[in-house]
Structure 1
Amino acid sequence: MTELDARLGALLEGRKAKGRFRSLKEYDTTSQSDLVDFSSNDYLSLTSSSALREAYLRRLSVSPSIFGSTGSRLLSGGSPSHASLERRFAEFFNSPSALLFNSGWDANVSFFATVPQSTDWVIYDELVHASVHSGLRSSRIPPERRLGFAHNDPEGLATVLRRILSSASTSETKSTVFLALESLYSMDGDMSPLPALLTVMDEFLPRGRQCVVLDEAHSTGVYGKHGRGVVHALGEEGAWSGAESRDKGKGRVDVRLMTFGKAVGCSGAVLLCSPAVRSFLINFARPLIFSTALPHSTLIALECVWDLLQGPEGDRRRKSLFDVSAYLHRLLADLLRTTPHSLLHLPPDPIVPFPHSSSPYLLADPASPILGLLTPTPHGLSAFLLERGFIVRPVVPPTVPPGGERVRICLRAGMKRSAIEGLVTALREWVELKTTEGSWRAKL
């Protein structure tokens, strides 16, 4: 063993002692397996869609380009297929332009590392994706101009904006204030109260100084008409039709990130933005400039997915997901009503995010396919559930703050009610076991 291996090994042992050690896991979740997957982000079950597989193979068989793209978009990797898909996304999501990335991580890092300038401010929800923070660490924004606010808290946002305005000099009146949010948060499984947060921004800043950036990684394909996302369902996209329409309350979200590795069942991402932002990223975003472009096989898959999402099968899968989510929420509510809070509980009840929504594609309190069950023993609970045939993964610091340890349940369209009931039965067994253990120890 080299000295390097010895040093790294000691650091890993320290992580193990803190209960934070990670390792790669492999599970057989094919139809021949007895395991039920409650861990993946395949919310619409598209990765196992036979209709999608057949459509993909048909289109692949007649495509002149099947394998890699051969280079970055700025060298040999750009093709009419890339440009065509970007035009399709710009039209579908009602955006003036679109730019493909190899992943949502690359898109967030690219944007936040390059677009905000040194005199700007960036405000972010404290639970926003890690990729936003990685981008900011590479940016020109000084640390003191990157400010977080309490998760989903409009008053917390207002407090930060007051702080910015009270400290800003007259020479900064042209600086931009960026606001980084997600539509659906992946750890607590709650949605951003987006209309309330946008209203707070309008109370403190003219629209011209705002740049609201919404990460729709976990809502792409799931919410909105044909899966266009939360922003589209609320009518807050389309800021680019002119300043007049923007001043009337529409189009307040400037940049949207739609990713393809979750409900869409593929890989890659698209950033929906103004032409100026798109051109700026092409010139300065290193993950875009120096990465091989998405391969043609992925472009073909994405075309096939969006054909499906825009048709009746997409609607059926979204409805199935919401039905499954509502059923598990009801069963868990019954279980947790009699479970000690210290043993197992959900995060605090979220604010109802869209109380006055008139969209037929977005309920006032939409069901979430993500549930974070907080517990002081996430590894033990995860192992217990695995023994009973359910894949439910633990989430521990630094992914969540200390005290926020949990297991995370992710739901998928088409899940059988018997599987949902089986999971809740296993959770009830675990609660009874731990309650009995606690009573026995108390008598010692």
Structure 2
Amino acid sequence: MGALDKRLEALLQDRKAKNRFRSLKEYNTSTSSELVDFSSNDYLSLTSSSELRQEYLKRLAASPHILGSTGSRLLSGGTSAHSALESRFSSFFDSPAALLFNSGWDANVSFFGTVPQSSDWVVYDELVHASVHSGMRASRVRPERRIPFRHNDPDALREVLLRIRRKEDAGPSSSTKQEGVIFLALESLYSMDGDLACLPAFLDVMDEVVPRDRQCVVLDEAHSTGVYGSGGRGVGHAIGEAGDGRVGVRLMTFGKAVGSSGAVLLCSPVIRSFLINFARPLIFSTAIPHSTLISLECAWDLLQSTDGDQRRDKLMSLSSNFHALVRPILARTPRSTLSLPPAAAAPFASARQRHPTLPADPFSPIIGLLTPRPHALSAFLLERGLVVRPVVPPTVPPGGERVRICLRADMGMEVVERLVKALEAWADQERAGGVGRGTAGVQQVQLRGRL
């Protein structure tokens, strides 16, 4: 073993000692398998839709372009098919412009790495995705101008914004002083806690403290694309703040509920042009292949259909029933053994006057169950044919260890009941074996700075 491998092996052993070692896992969760997958982001079960498969293969057979795009969009990779899909998304999502990316990661890194400038501020929920942090680190925004606030807490956002305004007021006065833009980075549905952002309240706080012309609200809808809103248009559209509203930039990704890959950034034409000129992940990446473009056209046809509505309704029903079944179990289980993360109540309550059909507190298909023994719980569930993966630092902060449960539209209620019974059996086993084993008040830990 060479010097490099020895050094890396020592670092890997250190991670193993901290119970943070990662390895690639493969599970047979096909229809012929006895395993049930509760870790997939395929919320609407599109990847197993026979109708979608048939339509995709039919269109693939009829297309003159079926494989790679052969180059970046600034060279030879851009085609009318790429532009047509962007036009479709611009119209469908009520956005002035749209720009395709190979992944949500590329889109976030591109935006936050290039658009904010040195005079700007980036204020972000402490649990925003790692891609936002990577983009900020690559940007011209100085570290002291990148400020987190407590997760999903509008009052905490107000405190940060007021602090920024006081700093600006205390600075040197000049008639030529240029006040920067204040970017607000949020996710509509958080991937680890499974809670929805109090978006209307956040937008009201921004209007209270920051002049509208200095605002740029960026909403990452990776886990809500396809799931929420009319036709799966997302949370920003559902509460009426998309397009020319107060949410200026939205990220919709296609690797989760849409069942494909890639992403689209919904923004102004000026931001779109700026990214084409300065975003390195876009400039130096081969464009999305034609096979993926075709899959996206087919997927969105389904999402806009009655089938799509039925899948969304089924998913919300499953989520509601799961919570109804699991909450009594958690109520009699020590919080340091198994618990739900703290969640903001009624995240859309303040928007219901304008949109009375909007549920004040919609359910989420993502359920994070905090436990200091996530590996043990995951193994216990796997023995019973249920694939539920543990999530440990650095994906979540120390003290935020958990298992992450994801529901899918094609699951039967009997499968969900089976999972709940297994969770109850594990909680009973832990209680019998001695409460407090290795616990440190998981519920009380402030989950900060997920990177």
Compute the TM-score of the two structures, normalised by the length of structure 2: 0.94
Partner of 1:425: 421
Q: Does the 8 Å contact 1:110/1:281 carry over to 2?
A: yes
Secondary structure of 1:254 counterpart: strand
Q: Which runs of 5+ in 2 are unaligned?
A: 438-451
Partner of 2:215: 210
Report the Cα distance in structure 2 between the residues aligned to 1:233 and 1:106, rounded to whole angstroms.
Answer: 25
What does residue range 41-440 of structure 1 map to in structure 2 within 5 Å?
41-168=41-168, 169=171, 170=173, 173-239=178-244, 251-355=245-349, 356-357=351-352, 358-359=354-355, 362-438=358-434
Q: Does the 8 Å contact 1:223/1:362 carry over to 2?
A: no
Do the aligned partners of residues 361 and 104 (structure 1) sit closer, same or farther apart at CA in structure 2, a change above 3 Å counting?
Answer: farther
Q: Does the 8 Å contact 2:334/2:435 carry over to 1?
A: no
Partner of 2:443: none
Task: Choose 164-173 or 219-228, whichever is displaced more.
Answer: 164-173
Q: Does the 8 Å contact 2:101/2:265 carry over to 1?
A: yes
Task: Choose 428-437 or 94-103, whichever is displaced more.
Answer: 428-437
Task: Choose 162-171 or 386-395, whichever is displaced more.
Answer: 162-171
Partner of 2:13: 13
Q: Which runs of 5+ in 1 are unaligned?
A: 240-250
Report the Cα distance in structure 1 between the residues aligned to 2:32 and 2:377, rounded to whole angstroms.
Answer: 25
Do the aligned partners of residues 139 and 436 (structure 1) sit closer, same or farther apart at CA in structure 2, a change above 3 Å counting?
Answer: same
Report the Cα distance in structure 1 between the residues aligned to 2:91 and 2:359, rounded to whole angstroms.
Answer: 24
Which residue identity lines up with residue 197 of structure 2 in the other structure? S
Which residue identity lines up with residue 334 of structure 2 in the other structure? P
Which residue identity lines up with residue 194 of structure 1 in the other structure? L
Report the Cα distance in structure 2 between the residues aligned to 1:119 and 1:399, rounded to whole angstroms.
Answer: 31
Q: Does the 8 Å contact 1:224/1:361 carry over to 2?
A: no
Report the Cα distance in structure 2 between the residues aligned to 1:48 and 1:360, rounded to whole angstroms.
Answer: 34
Question: Deviation digits for residues 238-292 of structure 1, max 9, x if unmatched?
Answer: 21xxxxxxxxxxx000000000000000000000000000000000000000000
Report the Cα distance in structure 1 between the residues aligned to 2:286 and 2:425, rounded to whole angstroms.
Answer: 49
- Displacement after TM superposition at 1:174 (Å): 2.9
Q: Does the 8 Å contact 2:103/2:263 carry over to 1?
A: yes
Partner of 1:242: none
Secondary structure of 1:151 counterpart: coil
Which residue identity lines up with residue 46 of structure 2 in the other structure? L
Partner of 1:40: 40
Question: Deviation digits for residues 140-198 of structure 1, max 9, x if unmatched?
Answer: 11100000000011111011111111111345553100000000001100000001001
Report the Cα distance in structure 2 between the residues aligned to 1:37 and 1:354, rounded to whole angstroms.
Answer: 30
Which residue identity lines up with residue 400 of structure 1 in the other structure? V
User: Structure 1 vs Structure 2: percent identity of aligned residues?
Assistant: 68
- Displacement after TM superposition at 1:304 (Å): 0.3
Structure 1 segments of 4 or more deviating over 6 A? none
| Aligned residue-pair number | 430
Which residue identity lines up with residue 323 of structure 2 in the other structure? H
Q: Does the 8 Å contact 2:101/2:262 carry over to 1?
A: yes
- Displacement after TM superposition at 1:361 (Å): 6.3
- Displacement after TM superposition at 1:75 (Å): 0.3
Q: Does the 8 Å contact 1:125/1:151 carry over to 2?
A: yes
Question: Deviation digits for residues 363-410 of structure 1, max 9, x if unmatched?
Answer: 110010000000000011001100100000000011111100000000
Compute the TM-score of the two structures, normalised by the length of structure 1: 0.95
Secondary structure of 2:124 counterpart: strand
- Displacement after TM superposition at 1:439 (Å): 6.9
Report the Cα distance in structure 2 between the residues aligned to 1:209 and 1:382, rounded to whole angstroms.
Answer: 46
Task: Choose 155-164 or 344-353, whichever is displaced more.
Answer: 344-353
- Displacement after TM superposition at 1:415 (Å): 0.7
Secondary structure of 2:111 counterpart: helix
Q: Does the 8 Å contact 2:336/2:436 carry over to 1?
A: no
Question: Deviation digits for residues 286-321 of structure 1, max 9, x if unmatched?
Answer: 000000000000000000011111111000100010
Secondary structure of 2:32 counterpart: coil
Secondary structure of 2:434 counterpart: helix
Which residue identity lines up with residue 177 of structure 1 in the other structure? I
Which residue identity lines up with residue 311 of structure 2 in the other structure? R
Report the Cα distance in structure 2 between the residues aligned to 1:192 and 1:27, rounded to whole angstroms.
Answer: 32
Do the aligned partners of residues 361 and 408 (structure 1) sit closer, same or farther apart at CA in structure 2, a change above 3 Å counting?
Answer: farther
Report the Cα distance in structure 1 between the residues aligned to 2:15 and 2:416, rounded to whole angstroms.
Answer: 34
Report the Cα distance in structure 1 between the residues aligned to 2:343 and 2:64, rounded to whole angstroms.
Answer: 52
- Displacement after TM superposition at 1:432 (Å): 1.2
Report the Cα distance in structure 2 between the residues aligned to 1:406 and 1:167, rounded to whole angstroms.
Answer: 39
Task: Choose 164-173 or 32-41, whichever is displaced more.
Answer: 164-173
- Displacement after TM superposition at 1:360 (Å): 6.6
Secondary structure of 2:247 counterpart: coil
Q: Does the 8 Å contact 1:70/1:292 carry over to 2?
A: yes
Which residue identity lines up with residue 430 of structure 1 in the other structure? W
Which residue identity lines up with residue 224 of structure 2 in the other structure? S
Report the Cα distance in structure 1 between the residues aligned to 2:324 and 2:282, rounded to whole angstroms.
Answer: 44
Which residue identity lines up with residue 325 of structure 2 in the other structure? L
Report the Cα distance in structure 2 between the residues aligned to 1:290 and 1:439, rounded to whole angstroms.
Answer: 54
Secondary structure of 2:185 counterpart: strand
Report the Cα distance in structure 1 between the residues aligned to 2:342 and 2:321, rounded to whole angstroms.
Answer: 19
Question: Deviation digits for residues 32-90 of structure 1, max 9, x if unmatched?
Answer: 10000100000000000001000100100100000000000000000000000000000
